[in-house]
Amino acid sequence: MAPVAQRVRGTQDLLPADRPYWDLMERAASETAGRAGYQRIETPVFEASELFKRSAGEGSDVVSKEMYSFTDRGGRSLSLRPEGTAPIVRAYFDGGLDQEPQPARLYYVGPFFRYDRPQAGRYRQFHQFGIEAIGEVHALLDVEAIQVGWEWFRRLGVGDLALKLNSIGDEVCRPAYREMLRDYYRPHLADLSEDSRLRFEKNPLRLFDSKDPEDQPYKERAPRIVDHLCAPCAEAFQIVQAGLRAEGISFELDPTLVRGLDYYTRTVFEFQHGSLSGAQNALGGGGRYDGLAAELGYRATPGIGFALGLERTLLILRQLGESAVEGPDVYAVALQPADQAYAGRLASSLRARGLRVVLDPGEARLDARLRKAARRGARVAVIIGPDERARGEAVIRDMRLKTQATVPEGEIVAAVTRTLGEI
């Protein structure tokens, strides 16, 4: 009989083998963000569709093609969140965080949803670690945000990281630049890809996002926004670059970096990794969004943040080859069913000392069970047979040295800890 249902396309199960990597990533998130004063926030996984439509821009793929939207029984249009920034800006005002000392420094770890064609590093449900600092316009906060992201990767041991940096100006300087870009592209429209012709109409900055080969020569010769920033934007961009240099964070200026969401102003950045392929090479990205709050109908309030993809980072951690899966400290084996209760009691007392103890439930031959202990990565085996039970003893086996000794019950904890310590 075939199973009645399959795992939904683009979703993944988080199996125990990967759990240690996730624990590492989550711990690194709370520690790096926490140490810089960021506090955890959680918002619902669904929101009014309008929130995302207004924030990301109708021209962005994330909203126009990739949203999981549905009408609930009350006739409201809701969407599974494709990203975290707009919900957090909403929560910042809803929760009165705008009344507290500014900026509000917030971080989050959780699932997001985009209906895109699944492939390695691209899923329909994926997870992000993100931070948002809302309520302060100073460019030093941009440096702080980038530094938190950089530190997260460093802690996880992810090297070979390229930080791409750009400024895309603000409502003062961007409109003139946008027209300049249209003027530049207009004579070449017939030679551009179809997608690019659409972008020309909707949002010419997104012409830089094109991966189509026929568009590339035009991209390279296009006017660069960094050469056309207004004075405050140019000054902010200098502060960001000087701040990053002072922190020892290397970056590459990339005048074609525009990002896929329309709410950005001034600083935008991306963390890219050499080993990930083309379109999926961004491990994360972010930027400033000083116009977003007003766009959502709130008092104009600046913000800056990023989101880093956990699934893509997991691909790198796995490539690093180091297994994050730790075996148990102790694998306890009772030779006969009558020995199980005694073995169970010993296991409990070892667990009470903070050790990870796995109790073998079977009745297979001892050598087969010791092979199982080795495969699980156990460092010590505790073996109980009828003799040990009768005399109140246990055999403590060092799984790596393959040596063992019989010790009385009162000394088992000390013997196990000693053996663990010697490894």
**With binding defined as CB under 6 A, does residue 41 bind ligand HAM?**
no
- What is the DSSP secondary structure assignment for residue 68, as one 8-state letter? -
Angle at which helix 140-156 crosses helix 19-35, to 10 degrees, equals: 150
Beta carbons within 8 Å of 335's beta carbon, 6+ residues apart: 366, 383, 384, 385, 386
Q: Provide the minimum distance between the beta carbon of 50 and ligand HAM in the complex, in angstroms, as a whole number.
A: 17
Among 225, 244, 283, 381, contact with ligand HAM (rule: CB under 6 A)? 283
**With binding defined as CB under 6 A, does residue 85 bind ligand HAM?**
yes
Q: Provide the minimum distance between the beta carbon of 382 and ligand HAM in the complex, in angstroms, as a whole number.
A: 43
Q: Provide the minimum distance between the beta carbon of 259 and ligand HAM in the complex, in angstroms, as a whole number.
A: 6
Among 285, 291, 302, 385, contact with ligand HAM (rule: CB under 6 A)? 285
Q: Provide the minimum distance between the beta carbon of 260 and ligand HAM in the complex, in angstroms, as a whole number.
A: 6
Beta carbons within 8 Å of 223's beta carbon, 6+ residues apart: 177, 180, 181, 184
293-352 positions binding ligand HAM, by CB under 6 A: 305-307, 309, 311-312
Q: How far apart are CA 307 and CA 286, in angstroms?
A: 6
Are 192 and 200 spatial neighbours (Cβ–Cβ below 8 Å)? yes
Are 134 and 92 spatial neighbours (Cβ–Cβ below 8 Å)? yes
* Binding piece for ligand HAM, criterion CB under 6 A, among 22-30, 94-102, 277-285, 393-401: 277-285
Give me the half-sphere count of Cα atoms (radius 13 Å) on the Cβ side of residue 294. Answer: 9
Within 169-214, residue ranges assigned H as helices are: 174-185, 194-202
Tokens 């600083």 appear where?
A: 267
**76 pairs with which residues across the strands?**
none
**With binding defined as CB under 6 A, does residue 84 bind ligand HAM?**
yes
**With binding defined as CB under 6 A, does residue 282 bind ligand HAM?**
yes
- The three-point CA angle 234-240-241 to 5° equals 90
Task: Please say which residue, 230 or 315, places its beta carbon nearer to ligand HAM.
Answer: 315
* Binding piece for ligand HAM, criterion CB under 6 A, among 24-32, 92-100, 124-132, 414-422: 124-132
Among 21, 38, 123, 153, contact with ligand HAM (rule: CB under 6 A)? 123
Residue nearest to ligand HAM (CB): 309
**With binding defined as CB under 6 A, does residue 59 bind ligand HAM?**
no
202-261 positions binding ligand HAM, by CB under 6 A: 260-261
127-146 positions binding ligand HAM, by CB under 6 A: 128, 130, 132
Q: How far apart are CA 419 and CA 380, in angstroms?
A: 7
Report which secondary-structure segment, H or E, holds 106.
strand 104-113
**With binding defined as CB under 6 A, does residue 57 bind ligand HAM?**
no
Q: How far apart are CA 113 and CA 41, in angstroms?
A: 18
**With binding defined as CB under 6 A, does residue 90 bind ligand HAM?**
no
**How many helices (H) and strands (E) in the chain?**
15, 16
**With binding defined as CB under 6 A, does residue 166 bind ligand HAM?**
no
Query: Residue count at the site for ligand HAM (CB under 6 A)?
Result: 26
**With binding defined as CB under 6 A, does residue 286 bind ligand HAM?**
yes
**With binding defined as CB under 6 A, does residue 122 bind ligand HAM?**
yes
Q: How far apart are CA 116 and CA 325, in angstroms?
A: 31
| Identity of the amino acid at 141 | L
Binding site for ligand HAM (CB under 6 A): 83-85, 114, 116, 122-123, 126, 128, 130, 132, 260-261, 282-287, 289, 305-307, 309, 311-312
